[in-house]
Amino acid sequence: PRTMPDAFPDHLADEVARVADQASIGLIRFDPQLRVRTANLAAPHTLERRPGALVGRSVMETFVDHRLEAMVRAASHGQVGTYESEAADRASLIVRAHPAVGGGAWVTLENITELQRLRRIRSEFIDNLSHELRTPLANVRLLTEMLSDDLAEADVPERVRERVATIDVETGHLVQMINELLDLTRMENAVVQVRHDELALAPLVDATIRRLGTFARRQGVTLTASVPDDLPAVRGDEERLDRLLLNLLHNAIKFSHDGGEVIVSADEHPDAVVVSVVDHGIGIPAADQARVFERFYKVDRARRRGQGGTGLGLAIARHIAEAHGGSIWLESTEGQGSTFSFSLPFA
């Protein structure tokens, strides 16, 4: 087998440091005794130290944070770590630690203070805009309902009733988009806390299927559950997981053919339970599959069918799955259907 050198060559370390400087990323190399051996120019600047002040210092002297000291020590023993620090009186940083060849650790520092500020501005903007739009939209929906009731007893052309009904439907879509955008923004900013209760999946799946029963019958689609009763319990938030399943099932029904079937199944794997939603509908083109979990992304085929939604449902599903320590993925063949699956850790 190829033998590794005793230490990372200094000339390569210098070259890597220069590249990191160009990217405004702090780079620190800790030796096997966990003292700073080298640091590029961006590192002391990011940590608000004078140039050259880091060499020879211990991890605690460098960061003054016992959590970072533990992470760097773990990296020196082969573990990769990431830590995001945020304090009101100093810069917000993402610190990553990796094992170094020959012992010790590499640590990178990325200043995300401006990014955090922009995130807060975006979040506040969406929050304020959502609240400003909700009241007038609620009034519009109320007025259309009252107008529909009045027209039911009036002698007016059918097209007038249809146009009022269209206003009500489109207003409902706007309300849904605002609610989903606000929900997604809160999840992205970790404002929404996810519970970690012990849950049985079979009752959760059955309840979600019942909620969508009327919609499925209207679309001519049959809903079927295949969840073993002896499936191990999972760790999760019942309300959030119901939302995840609801989004996946709603999409599966919407893009299924009349007379089609949507199946929800769950299987035990070595380290998690995997839930799958299978349909035999129009499928998703290969070129679009990598982007379907992005916010506002819509597949062209969906728009042509007039079935496009807000473009937020799958983005919300992804965040819910990841917030539970799981992941979400899809398998699809255009014209044959799609399978959306997500994993959940055992309770």
Tens digit of each residue's pLDDT, the chain (347 residues): 333 344 555 556 666 666 655 657 889 999 999 999 988 888 888 888 888 889 999 999 999 889 999 999 999 999 999 988 765 567 788 899 999 988 999 999 988 888 878 877 877 777 777 778 888 888 888 888 888 888 887 888 888 888 888 888 788 778 777 777 777 777 766 655 678 889 899 999 999 999 888 888 988 999 999 888 888 888 888 988 998 998 899 889 988 988 899 999 999 988 889 999 999 988 888 888 888 888 777 765 444 444 555 677 888 888 888 888 889 999 998 888 999 999 998 88
Residue 109 dihedral angles phi and psi, to the nearest 5°: -125, 125
pLDDT at 277: 93
DSSP 277-307: EEE-SS---HHHHTTTTSTT---HHHHHTT-
CB atoms inside a 10 Å sphere around CB 320: 27
pLDDT at 305: 43
Q: For residues 29 and 168, what is the distance between their CA atoms, to the nearest angstrom? A: 62
Helices (H), the chain: 10-22, 42-46, 59-63, 66-76, 113-152, 158-188, 201-211, 213-219, 238-254, 286-289, 300-304, 313-323
Which H or E run contains 338? Answer: strand 337-344
Q: For residues 169 and 216, what is the distance between their CA atoms, to the nearest angstrom? A: 18
Q: Of 225, 226, 224, 219, give the one whose Cα is nearest residue 259.
A: 219
Angle CA 250–256–259, to nearest 5? 115
Angle CA 77–82–88, to nearest 5? 135
Model-level pTM? 0.59
pLDDT at 298: 72
pLDDT at 306: 45
Q: Which residues pair with 108 in a beta bridge?
A: 27, 96
Which H or E run contains 106? Answer: strand 105-111
User: Taking a C-beta distance cutoff of 8 angstroms, is the pair 81, 74 a contact?
Assistant: yes
Q: For residues 40 and 48, what is the distance between their CA atoms, to the nearest angstrom? A: 13
Q: For residues 107 and 130, what is the distance between their CA atoms, to the nearest angstrom? A: 41
Q: For residues 242 and 205, what is the distance between their CA atoms, to the nearest angstrom? A: 8
